[in-house]
């Protein structure tokens, strides 16, 4: 072997060793999706800080919201969630003529004959096990209720009483996407519940001298409807759109005689700008793992997050208090879903937000420096709110969230920015404090709303806490020594 050949072999071996070594040194940067700087073992280093996580259930006064008329309303019953207990959701609404005074084709009531009356709800989605039978009943709301279009009602508050049962239907939620054929109305995406004909006869007997004279007069005859699930059966929630949705209506099918001719037709009462509404969503966490974990003051290996009305987690990172000053190249807070077979049915929420609790304000606020507000939702995606689908060590599908908090950590170390407790929360919308100069954490506070999830009540997830044996919540930092 010549010296030239020996040098070439030595060079090739050294190059191979260097490539292999670089791969090993940089494998950890995969967590940063190829945007972390290379870790060379001399100037750039990597460390992971342990966190402490604690489950909590929202106090009803802090998690009960007003659901607007333009939001999807939730209906149904979940009775078999192994981690979060039971949920039932009811809809209260008014359906009425679009204009007043109102008549049925100008025909006298003596010439009107009821065929059927049907409650129709415009379906928009399902969550949970859609193959389990649901039972839903429609009641007429009692007249003594105060139910007004200009009032708002908290989602946790049932508020209303009802006693007159009008109709009941058993169905499977997966069927709601099927097309239905009915008189002058063939479409998909409807829940149709036939009501008692005696109620339809009442509607035909009213005229423009009483119930159909004005909008306010109508409410004194028909206060509204309560659509209530059987809370003892079912394992899914369904969403329905009310406002500006032609699929949501009361369909009144009838016959009449006019000019000696018999005819059959249908008229619709809709959800109008003057219709009152309410969505009651009841969570019963009793006996669930969430309830047990939230009742214990100990650090939790598993964290349970469920959409509004729901739960949250407080997170502490004590190791940051004693960390010396350094250049933070990247800091990301990592949260991993812990798979269970029930996750295939009860899927995760659209998003989870990481924010902080400022004890000096006694209020929550967005993570200073790093949260960039954006009404289009791009800011939420950049902040890691929607996570990424991947698999765990056993090949099970999970979601992982990585929240970039580099500048906040840098300011804690360099500028002695206060270290706050963090919070993980999944709600439809978050409205909390944000500095006017959000990137510099300067200026007055304002309130900014972020839309985290598209629907109420849909979505729950179990993630690893700071002391989970295999999928622990953590803060990963890539830094350079000063």
Least confident window among 23-27, 79-83, 453-457: 23-27
Average pLDDT rounded to a whole number, residues 186-207: 94
The DSSP element (H or E) to which 395 belongs, if any, is none
- pLDDT tens for 83-104 read 999 999 999 999 999 999 999 9
DSSP annotation string for 350-385: S--EEEEEETTTTEEEEPTTT----TTSHHHHHTTT
Provide the pLDDT for residue 6: 33
Split at pLDDT 50, 70, 90, the class of 30 is very low
pLDDT over 90 at 199, yes or no? yes
* CA distance readout (Å), 366 to 23, 305, 405: 36, 19, 11
Q: Using CB atoms within 10 A of its CB, is residue 213 exposed (0-12), middle (13-18) or buried (19+)? A: middle
Split at pLDDT 50, 70, 90, the class of 444 is very high
Backbone angles phi, psi at 256, to 5 degrees: -150, 160
Number of H helices and E strands in the chain, helices first, is 7, 27
Provide the pLDDT for residue 12: 42
Average pLDDT rounded to a whole number, residues 131-154: 96
Provide the pLDDT for residue 186: 64
Provide the pLDDT for residue 412: 97
pTM of the model: 0.89
Average pLDDT rounded to a whole number, residues 140-159: 93
Provide the pLDDT for residue 118: 97
Provide the pLDDT for residue 179: 65
Average pLDDT rounded to a whole number, residues 405-434: 96
Provide the pLDDT for residue 183: 64
What percent of the chain shows pLDDT beyond 90? Answer: 81
DSSP E strand boundaries for 143-297: 162-171, 179-182, 185-188, 190-195, 225-229, 235-241, 249-258, 261-270, 277-284
Split at pLDDT 50, 70, 90, the class of 11 is very low
- pLDDT tens for 226-265 read 999 999 999 999 999 999 999 999 999 999 987 777 889 9
* CA distance readout (Å), 40 to 22, 29, 30: 8, 11, 15
Provide the pLDDT for residue 37: 54
Per DSSP, 232 falls in state: T
Check: CB of residue 250 under 8 Å from CB of residue 95. yes
Provide the pLDDT for residue 108: 85
Average pLDDT rounded to a whole number, residues 74-87: 98
Provide the pLDDT for residue 280: 96
Average pLDDT rounded to a whole number, residues 339-356: 98
pLDDT over 80 at 28, yes or no? no
Q: Using CB atoms within 10 A of its CB, is residue 11 exposed (0-12), middle (13-18) or buried (19+)? A: exposed
pLDDT over 90 at 161, yes or no? yes
Q: What is the mean pLDDT of the chain?
A: 90
Provide the pLDDT for residue 10: 32
- pLDDT tens for 379-409 read 999 999 999 999 999 999 999 999 999 999 9
Check: CB of residue 158 under 8 Å from CB of residue 280. yes
């Amino acid at each position: 072997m010549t010296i030239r050949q020996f040098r070439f072999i030595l060079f090739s071996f050294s190059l191979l060793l260097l490539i292999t070594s670089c791969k090993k040194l940089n494998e950890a940067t995969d967590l940063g999706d190829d945007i972390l700087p290379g870790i060379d073992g001399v100037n750039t280093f990597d460390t992971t800080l342990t966190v402490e996580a604690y489950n909590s259930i929202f106090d009803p006064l802090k998690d009960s919201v007003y659901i607007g008329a333009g939001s999807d309303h939730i209906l149904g019953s979940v009775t078999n969630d192994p981690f979060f207990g039971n949920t039932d959701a009811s809809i209260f609404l008014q359906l009425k003529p679009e204009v007043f005074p109102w008549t049925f084709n100008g025909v006298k009531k003596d010439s009107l004959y009821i065929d059927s009356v049907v409650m129709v709800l415009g379906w928009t989605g399902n969550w949970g096990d859609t193959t389990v039978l649901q039972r839903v009943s429609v009641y007429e709301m009692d007249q003594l209720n105060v139910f007004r279009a200009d009032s708002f009602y908290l989602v946790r508050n049932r508020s209303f009483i009802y006693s007159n049962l009008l109709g009941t239907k058993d169905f499977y939620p997966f069927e709601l996407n099927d097309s239905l054929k009915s008189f002058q109305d063939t479409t998909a995406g409807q829940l149709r519940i036939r009501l008692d004909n005696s109620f339809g006869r009442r509607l035909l007997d009213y005229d423009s001298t009483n119930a159909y004279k004005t909008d306010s007069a109508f409410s004194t005859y028909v206060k509204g409807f309560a659509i209530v699930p059987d809370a003892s059966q079912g394992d899914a929630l369904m969403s329905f759109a009310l406002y500006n949705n032609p699929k949501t209506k009361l369909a009144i099918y009838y016959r009449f005689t006019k000019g000696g001719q018999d005819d059959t037709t249908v008229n619709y009462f809709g959800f109008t700008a003057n219709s009152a509404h309410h969505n009651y969503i009841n969570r019963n966490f009793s006996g669930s793992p969430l309830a047990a974990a939230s009742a214990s003051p100990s650090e939790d290996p598993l964290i349970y997050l469920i959409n509004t009305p729901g739960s949250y987690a407080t997170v502490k990172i004590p190791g940051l208090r004693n960390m010396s000053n350094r250049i933070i190249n990247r800091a990301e807070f990592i949260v991993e879903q812990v798979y269970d077979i029930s996750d295939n049915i009860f899927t995760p929420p659209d998003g989870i937000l990481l924010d902080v609790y400022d004890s000096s304000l006694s209020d929550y606020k967005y993570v200073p420096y790093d949260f960039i507000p954006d009404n289009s939702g791009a800011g939420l995606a950049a902040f890691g709110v929607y996570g990424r689908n991947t698999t765990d060590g056993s090949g099970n599908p999970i979601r992982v969230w990585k929240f970039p908090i580099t500048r906040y950590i840098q300011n804690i170390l360099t500028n002695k920015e206060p270290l706050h407790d963090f919070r993980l929360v999944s709600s439809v919308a978050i409205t909390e404090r944000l500095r006017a100069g959000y990137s510099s954490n300067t200026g007055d506070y304002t309130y900014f709303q972020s839309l985290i999830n598209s629907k109420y009540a849909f979505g729950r997830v179990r993630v690893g806490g700071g002391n989970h044996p295999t999928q622990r919540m953590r803060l990963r930092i890539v830094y350079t020594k000063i």
